Amino acid sequence: MVKDFDDLQKYGKDNMEVAMKSFGALSKSAQAIAIEYADYSKRSYEQGAHAVEKLFGAKSLEKAIEVQADYAKTAYEGFVAQATKLGELYADLAKETYKPFEGFFAKASAAK
């Protein structure tokens, strides 16, 4: 009985350690993602404001179209780069969150 209780207690402790490691990885990754979103929003706003300034300063319709086309191109390229970076961050989030459970699931499979 005592051995079973000790095993149960150790099992509970191991579960808690794994959960806390996973939560730590989740928290760290979520913070990195939030910072990346904030930085991208700031850059996007600044680029948009700069494009509007250039647009108001355009002396001809051709120049205005050129400014708009340049802004659209850079905005699209920035969006694609940001989406790629965020995809990598989310993939890292999944890997890091799952990593503490790898050993735990291996132990559980071996116990069967």
Residue 58 CB-density burial (10 A; 0-12 exposed, 13-18 middle, 19+ buried):
middle
pLDDT at 104: 64
What is the extent of the structural domain holding 87? 2-111
Q: Is 2 a residue whose pLDDT tops 70?
A: no
| Tally of domains within the chain | 1
Please state the φ and ψ torsions of residue 58, each to the nearest 5 degrees: -65, 135
| 108 vs 69 pLDDT, higher one | 69
12-26, 45-59, 61-75, 86-100, range with the lowest pLDDT: 12-26
Q: Is 106 a residue whose pLDDT tops 90?
A: no
The per-residue pLDDT of the chain, averaged, comes to: 86
pLDDT at 75: 95
And the tokens for 96?
């890091």
For 30-53, what is the mean pLDDT?
Answer: 94
**What global pTM score does this model have?**
0.71
pLDDT at 62: 94
Q: Is 36 a residue whose pLDDT tops 90?
A: yes
Q: What secondary structure does DSSP assign to 18-67, as a single string?
A: HHHHHHHHHHHHHHHHHHHHHHHHHHHHHHHHHHHHHHHT-SSHHHHHHH
